[in-house]
């Protein structure tokens, strides 16, 4: 008799210890995955996270987050003799003296941007096709939580470098937290350890960035995938597709090969971006120095909407019982809370608008619900204008116009574009045969 | 399903060979060069070729079959659920004086939770109100430039602009101050602030009252400061009242004086907190 390969013998041995053959065959090997390109966004997010962890471990072994002042004498000549934080010096060290260091730093940064982008696209897909409906409400909530965690950790990563740009970002984030009514000062001091810059700040954020937040992301990601596995994917409407069937290709071997290829493609794109597309060139910004700042300070794209809100929303001199409500509170803090609360409550709101609380495993097409899609497009347009507004100074320079004029234009767009987007979406979907 | 072409199969094989070669090349390249583009380019090529190879392999050498499976109901049956509830109830019934136990455990968990939250206080190094209302400025502290040199009031030209710090606290951001000299008769300060200027020299906190960025730009033709972060604009002549952008609060003004040697000094700390606004500012 032909001897079975080593891996099969080891697997059989382990099966004798725990007995998994039946489950593995039914839940993994024969598992059916629907094929549709819009189902890939979640997968891209997952693989971006894997790349983030791999590159992040490498970077964490080289980076030191200290705030202690040092004088730079490294291989980057333009900053020779310049006082800076230990964190910024170690960032320069990784970028210029560690072989592959800059590559991994840039892959890490691109992966963070792609991670959030893929999550956003994933949520947009779920919104426009009704995948938030029963029985997937809980998994939607976990997904929104993952979005918040991804944005938070992206900001933390951007902040720990000790460069002028990230130091400016921390000052603004501190101002937003500080503006919170009643608890603001205590909350800001709890998070930031006092007004930035202070010696506690970078080590504290570093610890959150490399340990606490990734651990929580991993936990929720596991839950998210566990629930997905149990519930199986949704299907787009089509022949033989109803609430008691699932149509697609089997995990083994078709979907496994496709998914591995997908992972390789995502990695290839991120590595290519890391190799050829410069991102966050901290040596150009220089070290953080409190009284200094540069024009055109922008956050990563996924916080551009918050930056835009702090710029575009009007200044209202609000006082309540003799207390001040600063603009960063309603423009930054409150708007974020409303945005995410809206997302958290969407499964309940959607069910009410659809007048349908039933269980669905078959998605709807956008044209079946033009009103809901119009609403979704209006919200997207609103945040898109805020995102552009976050760069109003850069846009003003680009078009050789005054910042204030650009700002007034964006303020008009902030109202006009959502209305126009909603109307256009509704009209377009009705034309395409909606009800 | 279409029979895959020979080209597809050939391309699949070539892709996988490229992937292997690129990966091998990377093993050597690491020792030969530190070029981000070479290392990253080879790695990207290897990954991309492997992905393409697998995808083409799927088209050229694998059966593609759409299968249909059944969804089993997700929810437990009524019976299963009742059995679970019954077992939990039966178990709970065997515990004597349950109400007391539950009460005690809740009180314990609550108290411990509050104790745990109390420990958060250790993460706050200073009481916020003590920090937020004070800067190193006080009566008699000289204004110095970044290089530590003090400033003679008479030597400051009209329309000049300087960044100054409290002597001995150059690294302290809360004390960073913008100093401007204008023609004395142009000043139109609020009555209680009139005595804070010296010969047309006025000093305002450099930290924006909107979101805490340094108010780094001064336009001497218009006598305004502007903040490069969110473009708040402040009128230097009338007490740094915001006249544009999102800021609502004037930049705090530093009361100035001149010491016996003719150098500019502060005559007190700022009268209101510097930096972004918060709840307890009136």
Q: How would DSSP label each residue in B19-32?
A: HHHHHHHHHHHHHH
What mean pLDDT is reported for chain B?
94
Mean pLDDT, residues A80-105 taken together? 97
Query: Residue A34: left (phi > 0), alpha (psi -120 to 50), or beta?
Result: beta
Q: Do B279 and A324 touch (CB under 8 A)?
A: yes
Q: Is residue A19 part of a domain?
A: no
What number of C-beta contacts closer than 8 Å exist between A and B?
241
List own/partner pairs for B17-25 with CB under 8 A and 24 or more apart: B18/B45, B18/B46, B18/B49, B18/B53, B19/B46, B19/B47, B19/B49, B19/B50, B19/B53, B22/B46, B22/B49
Rounded to a whole number of angstroms, the distance from the CA of B101 to the nearest CA of chain A is 32
Reported ipTM: the value is: 0.94
Q: Does A281 touch chain B (CB under 8 A)?
A: no
A186 Cβ contact list (under 8 Å, min separation 6): B124, B128
Residue A68's nearest CA partner among A88, A42, A48, A92 is: A88
Q: Do A293 and B213 touch (CB under 8 A)?
A: yes
Is the model's pLDDT at A365 over the cut of 90?
Answer: yes
Q: Do B44 and A268 touch (CB under 8 A)?
A: yes
For the record, the structure tokens of B39 come out as: 């290392």
C-alpha distance across the termini of chain B, in Å: 75
What gap in Å lies between CA B123 and CA A189, rounded to an integer? 8
Q: Which chain B residues in 227-246 lie under 8 Å from chain A, judged by CB atoms? A: 228-231, 242, 244-246
Chain A residues inside the 8 Å CB shell of B241: none
DSSP H or E segment with residue B266? strand B264-266
CA angle A359, A360, A366 (to 5 degrees): 135
For the record, the structure tokens of A318 come out as: 């609000």
A334 touches A308 (CB < 8 A): no
Q: Is residue A12 part of a domain?
A: no
For the record, the structure tokens of A270 come out as: 């991120």
CA angle B237, B242, B243 (to 5 degrees): 85
Q: Do A32 and B36 touch (CB under 8 A)?
A: no
Q: Does B91 touch chain A (CB under 8 A)?
A: no
pLDDT single digits (tens) A319-342: 888 898 999 999 999 999 999 999
pLDDT for the residue A200:
92
Helix (H, G, I), strand (E, B) or coil at B202: strand
Helix (H, G, I), strand (E, B) or coil at B256: strand
A58 and A166 share one domain: yes
Q: Is residue A35 part of a domain?
A: yes
What gap in Å lies between CA A352 and CA A356, rounded to an integer? 7
A291 and A175 share one domain: yes
What gap in Å lies between CA B81 and CA B195, rounded to an integer? 80
Domain around A264: 31-298+318-336
pLDDT single digits (tens) B219-236: 999 999 999 999 999 999
CA angle A380, A385, A391 (to 5 degrees): 135
Q: Does A335 touch chain B (CB under 8 A)?
A: no
Q: Does B135 touch chain A (CB under 8 A)?
A: no
Peptide bond into A199 cis (omega under 30): no
Chain A residues inside the 8 Å CB shell of B65: 249-250, 254
Rounded to a whole number of angstroms, the distance from the CA of B93 to the nearest CA of chain A is 32
Residue A163 is classified by DSSP as: B
For the record, the structure tokens of A390 come out as: 């976050």
Q: Where are the alpha helices (DSSP H) in A237-369?
A: 256-276, 282-285, 304-312, 327-328, 335-354
A331 and A389 share one domain: no
Q: Do B278 and A245 touch (CB under 8 A)?
A: no
Q: Which residue carries 């049956």 as its tokens?
A: B77
Share of chain A above pLDDT 90, in %: 92
Is the model's pLDDT at B4 over the cut of 90?
Answer: no
Per-residue pLDDT band for A1 (boundaries 50, 70, 90) equals: low
What mean pLDDT is reported for chain A?
95
Which residues are paired to B265 by β-bridges?
B142, B257
Q: Is residue A95 part of a domain?
A: yes
Q: Do B36 and A275 touch (CB under 8 A)?
A: yes
Q: Is residue A245 part of a domain?
A: yes
Give me the residue from B67, B129, B165 closest to A32, CB to CB: B67
Chain CA centroid to CA B135, Å: 22
B175 touches B181 (CB < 8 A): no
pLDDT single digits (tens) B80-123: 999 999 999 999 999 999 999 999 999 999 999 999 999 999 99
Q: How would DSSP label each residue in A126-151?
A: HHHHTTTSTT-HHHHHHHHHHHHHHH
CA-nearest residue to A241 within chain B is B68
What gap in Å lies between CA B216 and CA B194, rounded to an integer? 24
Q: Do A275 and B246 touch (CB under 8 A)?
A: no
CA atoms within 13 A on the CB side of B263: 16
Q: Do B30 and A99 touch (CB under 8 A)?
A: yes
Mean pLDDT, residues A57-62 taken together? 97
Q: Which chain A residues in 136-165 lie under 8 Å from chain B, judged by CB atoms? A: none
A332 and A409 share one domain: no
A276 Cβ contact list (under 8 Å, min separation 6): B37, B40, B41
Which residues are paired to B249 by β-bridges?
none
CA-nearest residue to A105 within chain B is B36
Rounded to a whole number of angstroms, the distance from the CA of B88 to the nearest CA of chain A is 25
What gap in Å lies between CA A331 and CA A179, rounded to an integer? 10
For the record, the structure tokens of B263 come out as: 């150098």
pLDDT single digits (tens) B145-193: 999 999 999 999 999 999 999 999 998 899 999 999 999 999 999 999 9
A100 touches A83 (CB < 8 A): no
Chain CA centroid to CA B69, Å: 49
Work out how many domains chain A is built from and give that number: 2
A51 and A92 share one domain: yes
What gap in Å lies between CA A279 and CA A273, rounded to an integer? 9
Q: Do A103 and B40 touch (CB under 8 A)?
A: yes
Q: Is residue A354 part of a domain?
A: no
Give me the residue from A185, A361, A393 closest to B128, CB to CB: A185
B209 touches B250 (CB < 8 A): yes
Q: Do B229 and A297 touch (CB under 8 A)?
A: yes
Rounded to a whole number of angstroms, the distance from the CA of A398 to the nearest CA of chain B is 16
DSSP H or E segment with residue B46? helix B36-61
Residue A331 is classified by DSSP as: I
Helix (H, G, I), strand (E, B) or coil at A250: strand
Rounded to a whole number of angstroms, the distance from the CA of B163 to the nearest CA of chain A is 8
* CATH code where residue A184 lies: 1.20.810.10
Rounded to a whole number of angstroms, the distance from the CA of A374 to the nearest CA of chain B is 31
A36 and A183 share one domain: yes
A234 touches A182 (CB < 8 A): no
Q: Is residue A355 part of a domain?
A: no
pLDDT single digits (tens) B226-265: 999 999 999 999 999 999 999 999 999 999 999 999 999 9
For the record, the structure tokens of A363 come out as: 């998605």
pLDDT for the residue B2:
56
Chain A residues inside the 8 Å CB shell of B126: 189, 194
Q: Is residue A13 part of a domain?
A: no
A331 and A381 share one domain: no
Which residues are paired to B162 by β-bridges?
B179
pLDDT for the residue A434:
52
A231 and A89 share one domain: yes
Q: Does A185 touch chain B (CB under 8 A)?
A: yes
A369 and A331 share one domain: no
What gap in Å lies between CA B264 and CA B2, rounded to an integer? 87
CA distance readout (Å), B270 to A317, B132, B255? 22, 11, 7
CA-nearest residue to B178 within chain A is A291
pLDDT for the residue B1:
47
CA distance readout (Å), A57 to A62, A107, A205, A361, A418? 9, 13, 16, 39, 42
Chain A residues inside the 8 Å CB shell of B47: 264-265, 267-268, 271
Cβ atoms within 10 Å, residue A224 = 22
A324 and A385 share one domain: no
| The CA-based dihedral angle spanning residues B105, B110, B115, B119, taken in that order and rounded to the nearest 10 degrees | 120
């Amino acid at each position: 008799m032909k001897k079975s390969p080593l891996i099969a013998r080891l697997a059989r041995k382990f099966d004798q210890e725990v007995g998994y053959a039946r489950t593995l065959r039914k839940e993994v090997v024969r598992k059916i995955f629907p094929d549709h390109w819009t189902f890939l966004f979640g997968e891209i997010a997952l693989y971006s996270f894997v790349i983030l962890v791999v590159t992040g471990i490498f970077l964490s072994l080289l980076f030191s987050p200290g705030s202690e002042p040092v004088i730079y004498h490294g291989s980057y000549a333009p900053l020779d003799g310049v006082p800076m934080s230990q964190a910024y010096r170690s960032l320069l060290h990784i970028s210029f003296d560690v072989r592959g260091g800059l590559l991994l730093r840039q892959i890490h940064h691109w992966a963070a941007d792609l991670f959030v982008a893929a999550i956003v696209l994933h949520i947009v897909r779920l919104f426009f096709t009704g995948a938030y409906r029963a029985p997937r409400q809980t998994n939607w909530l976990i997904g929104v939580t993952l979005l918040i965690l991804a944005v938070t950790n992206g900001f933390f990563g951007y902040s720990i470098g000790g460069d002028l740009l990230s130091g400016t970002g921390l000052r603004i984030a501190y101002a937003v937290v500080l503006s919170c009514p009643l608890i603001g000062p205590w909350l800001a001091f709890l998070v930031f350890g006092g007004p930035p810059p202070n010696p506690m700040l970078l080590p504290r954020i570093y610890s959150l960035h490399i340990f606490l937040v990734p651990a929580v992301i991993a936990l929720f990601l596991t839950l998210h995938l566990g629930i997905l596995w149990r519930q199986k994917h949704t299907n787009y409407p089509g022949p033989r597709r109803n609430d008691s069937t699932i149509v697609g290709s089997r995990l083994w071997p078709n979907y496994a090969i496709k998914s591995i290829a997908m992972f390789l493609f995502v990695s290839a794109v991120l590595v290519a971006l890391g190799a050829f597309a410069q991102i966050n060139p901290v040596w150009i910004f220089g070290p953080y120095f409190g009284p200094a700042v540069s024009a055109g300070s922008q956050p990563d794209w996924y916080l551009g909407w918050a930056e835009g809100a702090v710029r575009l929303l009007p200044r209202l001199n609000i006082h309540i019982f003799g207390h001040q409500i600063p603009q960063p509170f309603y423009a930054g803090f409150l708007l974020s809370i409303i945005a995410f609360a809206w997302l958290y409550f969407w499964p309940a709101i959607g069910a009410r608008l659809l007048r349908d609380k039933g269980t669905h495993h078959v998605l709807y097409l956008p044209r079946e619900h033009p009103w809901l899609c119009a609403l979704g497009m209006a919200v997207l347009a609103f945040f898109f204008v805020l995102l552009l507004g976050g760069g109003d100074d850069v846009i003003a320079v680009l078009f050789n116009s005054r910042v204030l004029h650009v700002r007034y234009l964006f303020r008009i767009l902030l109202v006009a574009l959502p209305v126009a987007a909603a109307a256009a979406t509704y009209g377009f979907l009705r034309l395409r045969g909606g009800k | 399903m279409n029979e895959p072409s020979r080209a597809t199969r050939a391309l699949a094989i070539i892709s996988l060979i490229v992937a292997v070669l690129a990966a091998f090349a990377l093993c050597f390249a690491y020792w030969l060069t530190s070029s981000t583009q070479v290392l990253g380019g080879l790695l990207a090529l290897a990954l991309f070729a492997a992905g393409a190879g697998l995808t083409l392999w799927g088209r050229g050498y694998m059966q593609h079959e759409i299968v249909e499976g059944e969804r089993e109901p997700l929810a437990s049956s009524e019976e299963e659920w009742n059995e679970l509830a019954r077992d939990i109830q039966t178990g709970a019934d065997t515990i004597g004086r349950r109400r007391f136990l539950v009460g005690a455990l809740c009180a314990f968990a609550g108290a411990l939770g509050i104790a745990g939250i109390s420990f958060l206080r250790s993460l706050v190094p200073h009481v916020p109100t003590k920090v937020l209302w004070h800067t190193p400025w006080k009566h008699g502290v000289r204004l110095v430039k970044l290089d530590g040199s003090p400033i003679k009031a008479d030597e400051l030209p009209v329309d000049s602009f300087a960044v100054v710090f409290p002597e001995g606290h150059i690294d302290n951001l809360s004390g960073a101050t913008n100093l401007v000299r204008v023609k004395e008769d142009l000043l139109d300060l609020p009555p209680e602030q009139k005595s804070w200027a010296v010969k047309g020299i006025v000093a305002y906190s450099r930290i924006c009252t909107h979101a805490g960025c340094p108010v780094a730009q001064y336009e001497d033709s218009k006598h305004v400061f502007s903040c490069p972060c969110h473009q708040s604009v402040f009128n230097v002549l009338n007490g740094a009242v915001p006249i544009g952008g999102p800021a609502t609060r004037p930049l705090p003004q530093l009361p100035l004086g001149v010491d016996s040697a003719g150098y500019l000094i502060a005559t007190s700390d700022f009268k209101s907190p510097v930096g972004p606004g918060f709840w307890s500012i009136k």
